[in-house]
Amino acid sequence: MAVIVKYFIVRNGIELDQAFTDKREADAYDKMLDAADELESLIRNSGMEIDLNDKTVREIAVVLAKNGPEVVKILKNVKPLGPAREAAETGGDGEPAKDKAAAEKSKRKNK
């Protein structure tokens, strides 16, 4: 008799149909689903003026999450727009990031 260990992912109290024999694969799939959840939220809160049903939004989010490394490569050189860009340029507190870096460098020199 053989003993086979299987890993199942439980999300929101529901066990998914897919079973894994490798814990690393199960963890990777679970992380991909977490990323898909975040992408789904981003899509829903993006303010797009098109009507997408829930299934379509979820499928788009899963495709993007499954292809994360390719998506990152595609978006690598994209600069943030609007408020996100301002936060990136100022470090999130309104003070320009360049000035903050210079102040930190000056503090280290004076120590």
- Mind giving me the DSSP string for 14-74? EEEEEEESSHHHHHHHHHHHHHHHHHHHHHHTS--SS---HHHHHHHHHHHHHTHHHHHHH
In tens, the pLDDT along 64-78 reads 999 999 999 999 988
- The number of folded domains in the chain is 1
For residue 10, being part of any structural domain is answered with no
For 10-55, the pLDDT digits (tens) are 988 889 888 999 999 999 999 999 999 999 999 988 888 888 888 9
What global pTM score does this model have? 0.62
- Between CA 64 and CA 55 the distance in angstroms is 14
Query: Is 5 domain-assigned?
Result: no
In a domain, 37, yes or no: yes
In a domain, 8, yes or no: no
**How is residue 84 written in tokens?**
């996100």
Domain span at residue 80 reads: 23-105
